[in-house]
């Protein structure tokens, strides 16, 4: 059985909406986890985080989140990131409402 | 109720103008997030898991219908069509855009509401008994005193940067519905030799170090209330542990220094500062406030329709049995509107529901609404004869759940579904317990029971004082739920006792059911409540039911 690869992504909340966003490969902020840039190298991830932290006019509270890269793409390594990915349990008011 | 005067209006308008400029400066890059964060928190604006959250103060839980309608309008226009009422009698909006918040604050100001000091290390919204001025057991309406404290504490220059947040609760009734013993300061109105004053309790609080408050002075006359409070908060401001945020609340100050030392310092400070207060001016102002909170005129009313409805309509009778509370005036009742439909989110009300309740308050309750710390809404003055019509209107809107004080009337904090601090979810656990006890048709048989759920150790869901308390934690990356039993938030306040190892998310509802069934088996008769049975029997038979069955299931 193939082990999922541990990776890191840069995540934050958007400044105006407060939405959960991830840093994409093209340097934009995406609202889709599957479009996030997955870093396998810790130094690369740290550099990306430091650069993202400079973009205060776009986002708030950047940090590195642990993910796993499996056959179906990026999966959160912790349930907190899973809730950030999909939105709250009680209403389809978060990202789950966006399909 | 209190009406803003010209000073209040100008004060709030200026604060809102300042905040609008601060938001603009954050967006244009003049302010960093580090600089902006304390400014937004001073106006009740948090950043949560999925969005910003705006916490709006509802001082001492009192609203008029115009205010509730405006809260509904804000939910419609700037949020996702609902608001969440909290255990500190605030309302929270879970989805505002940063750029909309100044407009929301202006809309609040139009009806005499604000979000000042709903966050930060300052004196928070003063909470009180949701049945104030209506309850049959009341000594005196506590709200004029709560308003006095609000005015004293708002923007008090000495208390804007306290070691930690500071919460005051006040009750005018010996039956404590404001959880005064779990607040930094609890005020319980008492009479001594014909004079009204306050028993002052200090150093209560829940969170990671739960403590029941201690009586620092058994009688503070009304004239001394503000200087005595100022002496307590001033003493805490000096002694409080700023080196460690987990030890910064006044409960730790009292615990580490001892009540006697704190009392000596407070009394010395009180003697020093009391002469600086103008007791005459305060008394005059308090008299004006009391006029604003004057008891409503409640003319005698017939109650035949109420008795007829009780006789012929079982649904009405079930609702009346659980959701009504004795009123001080004959022919009237206090109505609690449950915001806990089975399977719903505890404390949430849609914009349509808020508007309807405002309309019903105008029609049946003199336009007044209260928010309870148990996350329900209250119509404080309803004639018994109007209750059948009120019940019909509530029922049509899904607001007539007959469960106040029962197993599904659960306090639940927002938990990890919203809160950035949470370590596990609370809301779906509450939803599933409520649905389960409803499906089993057990809760009316079980009778009075308080289940309280927190999604982290900060205990916003008051789990420590739940008869059954549930604390959600992160155990090695998995949601896990600890159970405490025997807690009580009343005038006999007690911190609950942890039963043992926690339960996985999919095991917590069956675990609660085992406790409930054990109670049904163990109680003397239907008149013995869960808490009484627990106090008589101790934790052991409930622990046995919890863990023995689990081991059998696993075998």
Worst-scoring range by mean pLDDT, A2-6, B22-26, B471-475? A2-6
List, for residues B311-365, the tens digit of each pLDDT value.
999 999 999 999 999 999 999 999 999 999 999 999 999 999 999 999 999 999 9
Write out the H or E segment, with its range, that includes residue B35.
helix B33-41
B418 and A57 within 8 Å at the Cβ level: the answer is no
Separation between Cα atoms, residue B30 and residue A80, nearest integer Å: 32
Distances (CA, A) of B356 to B85, B395, B440: 16, 12, 31
Helix %, strand %, coil % of chain B (to 5): 45, 20, 35
Separation between Cα atoms, residue B204 and residue B182, nearest integer Å: 4
Task: Output the pLDDT for position A2.
Answer: 56
Structure tokens at B304: 């035949």
Is the distance from CB of B56 to CB of B63 less than 8 angstroms? Answer: no
Instruction: Tell me the pLDDT band of A96, cut-offs 50, 70 and 90.
Output: confident
A18 and B50 within 8 Å at the Cβ level: the answer is yes
Percentage of residues in chain B having pLDDT higher than 90: 98
Any alpha helices (H) in B293-420, and if so which ranges? 304-312, 314-323, 351-364, 387-396
pTM for this entry: 0.96
A16, A78, A83: residue with CB nearest B417:
A83
Name chain A contacts of B478, Cβ cutoff 8 Å.
79
Q: Could you tell me if B139 lies within 8 Å of chain A, comparing CB atoms? A: no
Task: Output the pLDDT for position B374.
Answer: 98
Mean of pLDDT over chain B: 96
> Any residues with CB less than 8 A from the CB of B319 and at least 6 apart, and which?
B391, B400, B402
A19, A78, A90: residue with CB nearest B427:
A90
Separation between Cα atoms, residue A4 and residue A9, nearest integer Å: 15
B27 and A80 within 8 Å at the Cβ level: the answer is no
A91 and B479 within 8 Å at the Cβ level: the answer is no
Comparing alpha-carbon positions, the chain B residue that sits nearest to A16 is B98
Name chain A contacts of B98, Cβ cutoff 8 Å.
15-18
A18 and B417 within 8 Å at the Cβ level: the answer is no
A16, A84, A94: residue with CB nearest B98:
A16
Which residues 72-91 in chain A show a CB within 8 A of chain B?
Answer: 77-80, 83-84, 87-91
Task: Output the pLDDT for position B552.
Answer: 57
Task: Output the pLDDT for position B500.
Answer: 96
Burial B183-195 (b: 16+ CB within 10 A, else e): bbbbbbbbeeeee
List, for residues B148-200, the tens digit of each pLDDT value.
999 999 999 999 999 999 999 999 999 999 999 999 999 999 999 999 999 99
Task: Output the pLDDT for position A99.
Answer: 61
Average pLDDT over residues B386-402: 97
Percentage of residues in chain B having pLDDT higher than 70: 99
Structure tokens at B199: 């028993």
Identify the residue among B104, B417, B504 best suited for mutation to test binding to A, counting A beta carbons within 10 A and taking the highest. Answer: B417
Task: Output the pLDDT for position B481.
Answer: 98
Task: Output the pLDDT for position A4.
Answer: 85
Separation between Cα atoms, residue B52 and residue B23, nearest integer Å: 13
In the β-sheet with B168-171, what is the strand arrangement from edge to edge?
B127-128, B168-171, B185-192, B195-202, B214-221
B52, B417, B479: residue with CB nearest A88:
B417
B416 and A16 within 8 Å at the Cβ level: the answer is no
Task: Read off φ and ψ for residue A59, nearest 5 degrees.
Answer: -140, 170
Instruction: Tell me the pLDDT band of A97, cut-offs 50, 70 and 90.
Output: confident
List, for residues B409-427, the tens digit of each pLDDT value.
999 999 999 999 999 999 9
Structure tokens at B168: 């005051």
B27, B50, B479: residue with CB nearest A20:
B50
Is the distance from CB of B519 to CB of B530 less than 8 angstroms? Answer: yes
Separation between Cα atoms, residue B335 and residue B342, nearest integer Å: 19
- Interchain CB contacts (distance < 8 Å): A and B: 70
Name chain A contacts of B477, Cβ cutoff 8 Å.
77-79
Task: Output the pLDDT for position A94.
Answer: 85
Structure tokens at B5: 């005067």
| Shortest Cα–Cα distance, A12 to chain B (Å) | 10
Strand partners, A11: A22, A63
Task: Output the pLDDT for position B434.
Answer: 98
Separation between Cα atoms, residue B495 and residue B484, nearest integer Å: 9
Instruction: Tell me the pLDDT band of B548, cut-offs 50, 70 and 90.
Output: confident
With a cut of 60, say whether residue A63 has pLDDT above it: yes
Q: Could you tell me if B427 lies within 8 Å of chain A, comparing CB atoms? A: yes
> Any residues with CB less than 8 A from the CB of A50 and at least 6 apart, and which?
none
Cα dihedral sign for B167, B419, B437, B521?
negative
Q: Could you tell me if B26 lies within 8 Å of chain A, comparing CB atoms? A: yes
Write out the H or E segment, with its range, that includes residue B169.
strand B168-171
Separation between Cα atoms, residue B76 and residue B83, nearest integer Å: 10
Task: Read off φ and ψ for residue B182, nearest 5 degrees.
Answer: -115, 30
Name chain B contacts of A84, Cβ cutoff 8 Å.
49-50
Beta strand B62-64 with B368-371: parallel, antiparallel or unpaired? antiparallel
Instruction: Tell me the pLDDT band of A34, cut-offs 50, 70 and 90.
Output: very high
| Shortest Cα–Cα distance, B420 to chain A (Å) | 9
Structure tokens at B182: 């779990």
């Amino acid at each position: 059985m193939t082990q999922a690869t541990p990776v890191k992504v840069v995540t934050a909340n958007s400044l105006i909406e407060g939405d959960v966003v991830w840093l994409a490969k093209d340097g934009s902020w995406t609202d889709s986890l599957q479009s996030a840039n997955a870093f396998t190298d810790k130094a690369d991830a740290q550099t990306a985080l430091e650069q993202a932290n400079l973009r205060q006019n776009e986002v708030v509270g950047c940090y590195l989140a642990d993910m796993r890269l499996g056959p179906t793409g990026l999966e959160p390594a912790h349930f907190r990131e899973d809730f950030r990915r999909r939105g709250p349990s009680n209403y389809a008011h978060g990202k789950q409402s966006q399909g | 109720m209190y009406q803003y005067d010209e000073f209040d209006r100008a004060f709030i308008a200026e604060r809102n103008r300042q905040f609008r400029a601060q938001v603009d400066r954050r967006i244009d890059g003049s302010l960093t997030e580090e600089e902006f964060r304390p400014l937004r928190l001073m106006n009740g604006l948090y950043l949560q898991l999925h969005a910003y959250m705006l916490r709006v103060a509802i001082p001492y839980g009192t609203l008029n219908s115009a205010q509730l309608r405006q809260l509904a309008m804000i939910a419609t226009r700037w949020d996702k069509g609902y608001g969440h009422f909290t255990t500190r009698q605030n309302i929270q909006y879970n989805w505002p855009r940063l750029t909309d918040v100044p407009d929301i604050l202006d809309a609040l100001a139009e009806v005499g509401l604000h979000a000042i000091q709903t966050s930060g290390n300052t004196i928070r919204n003063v909470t009180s008994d949701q049945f104030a001025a209506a309850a049959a057991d009341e000594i005196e309406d506590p709200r004029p005193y709560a308003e006095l404290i609000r005015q004293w504490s708002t923007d008090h220059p000495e208390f804007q940067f306290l070691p930690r947040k500071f919460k005051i609760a006040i009750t005018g009734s010996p039956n404590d519905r404001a959880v005064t013993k779990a607040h930094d300061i609890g005020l319980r109105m008492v009479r001594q030799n014909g004079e009204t004053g306050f028993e002052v309790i200090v150093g209560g609080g829940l969170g990671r170090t739960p403590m029941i408050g201690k009586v620092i002075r058994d009688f503070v006359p009304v004239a001394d209330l503000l200087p005595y409070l100022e002496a307590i908060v001033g003493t805490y401001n000096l002694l409080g542990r700023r080196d460690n945020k987990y030890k910064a609340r006044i409960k730790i100050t009292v615990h580490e220094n001892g009540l006697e030392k704190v009392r000596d310092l407070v009394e010395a400070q009180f003697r020093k500062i009391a002469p600086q207060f103008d007791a005459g001016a305060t008394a005059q102002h308090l008299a004006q406030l009391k006029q604003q909170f004057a008891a409503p005129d409640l003319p005698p009313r017939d109650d035949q329709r109420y008795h007829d409805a009780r006789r012929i309509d079982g649904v009405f009778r079930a609702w009346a049995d659980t959701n009504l509370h004795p009123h001080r005036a004959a022919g009237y009742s206090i109505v609690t509107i449950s915001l806990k439909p089975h399977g719903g989110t505890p404390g949430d009300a849609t914009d349509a529901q808020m508007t309807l309740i405002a309309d019903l308050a105008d029609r049946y309750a003199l336009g007044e609404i209260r928010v309870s710390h148990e996350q329900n809404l209250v119509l404080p003055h309803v004639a018994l004869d109007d209750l059948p019509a009120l019940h019909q209107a509530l029922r049509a809107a899904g607001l007539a759940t007959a469960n106040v004080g029962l197993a599904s009337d659960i306090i639940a904090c927002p938990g990890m579904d919203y809160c950035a601090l949470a370590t596990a979810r609370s809301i779906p656990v509450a939803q599933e317990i409520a649905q389960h006890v409803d499906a089993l048709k057990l809760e009316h048989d079980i009778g009075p029971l308080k289940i309280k759920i927190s999604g982290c150790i900060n205990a916003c869901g008051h789990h420590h004082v739940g008869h059954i308390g549930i604390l959600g934690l992160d155990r090695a990356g998995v949601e896990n739920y600890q159970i405490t039993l025997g807690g009580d938030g009343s005038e006999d306040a007690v911190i609950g006792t942890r039963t043992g190892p926690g339960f996985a998310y999919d095991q917590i509802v069956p675990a609660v059911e085992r406790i409930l069934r054990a109670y049904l088996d163990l109680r003397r008769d239907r008149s013995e409540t869960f808490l009484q049975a627990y106090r008589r029997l101790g934790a052991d038979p409930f622990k046995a039911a919890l863990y023995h069955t689990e081991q059998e299931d696993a075998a």
